[in-house]
Structure 1
Amino acid sequence: MDLIDKKLVSLLQANGKLTMKELSSELGLSITPIYERLRRLERSGIIEGYHASVNHKKAGFGFEVFSSVTLESHKAEFLREFEIEISKFSEVMECFHLAGSFDFLLKVLVKDMEEYAEFVNKKLARLNNIRLVQSMMVLKKIKKTSVLPLIDKVSS
């Protein structure tokens, strides 16, 4: 990625609804090179997609929990089985396989504590190979971003 690509991606991270005309104006290039750069960034996988950012609380998912999961066995087939099964749960927004005190960290969004308890008891705890689930309820979100710092704000 050259500096123009980085500026292009930074503009889209700030506002994914910018038109080709607006991007062209911001970058000082005609629409055709902007379009070609975008397609190249998409094909290379640097730009993975476009989506709307939704406020989960306003959408009815006001209870955010991080659940650490420890498995009984760490054999490859058990790890893969867990990954497949956890991917089916709509309550799980993100799942990370970690090294350290526990095996997986889940970011779970639900309506309330009752719905979380139901998720743990009726879905998560019923998976094979679960040894321990520990829950950490989010009290306050201090920072949330998905914007990568691609360009130095001082030099741009």
Structure 2
Amino acid sequence: MIKADSFSFVLDLSIYFPEVIESHHLASAYDYMLKVLMEDTDKLEIFLSEKLKFIQGVQKSNTLIILSTVNLSAINYRASTQVETL
């Protein structure tokens, strides 16, 4: 959880940490969600334990690992543009 005065704080993270590829301000138990891109879990552990947790305002973190992704908007778009042929 990041307790920061403004969203610009999170935007600044992407300047100092190129691993951060997205940041989202949330209405949840956590204030922000950061999407980071790592080579492997060892690099993720280093980012969390040696970088993120030392940033002023970071009180706790929760990590989710994406195993796979399905782009539903692309599937819905293709389905809506297909024309049935006889």
TM-score w.r.t. structure 2 length?
Answer: 0.71
Confirm whether residue 120 of structure 1 aligns to residue 67 of structure 2. no
Structure 1 runs (4+) greater than 4 angstroms displaced: none
Instruction: Determine which structure has more spread, i.e. the larger CA radius of gyration.
Output: 1
Confirm whether residue 87 of structure 1 aligns to residue 21 of structure 2. no
Cα distance change, pair 91–126 in 1 and its aligned pair in 2 (3 A): same
Cα distance change, pair 80–145 in 1 and its aligned pair in 2 (3 A): same
More strand by share: 1
Question: Contact 2:26–2:32 at 8 Å: present in 1 too?
Answer: yes
How far the C-alpha of 1:144 sits from its partner, in A, is 6.9
How far the C-alpha of 1:145 sits from its partner, in A, is 6.2
Moved more, 137-146 or 124-133: 137-146
Specify every segment of 5 or more residues in structure 2 that has no aligned partner in the other structure, as ranges.
none
Specify every segment of 5 or more residues in structure 1 that has no aligned partner in the other structure, as ranges.
1-69
CA root-mean-square deviation = 2.4
Partner residue in 2 for 1:134: 62
Question: Contact 2:10–2:23 at 8 Å: present in 1 too?
Answer: no
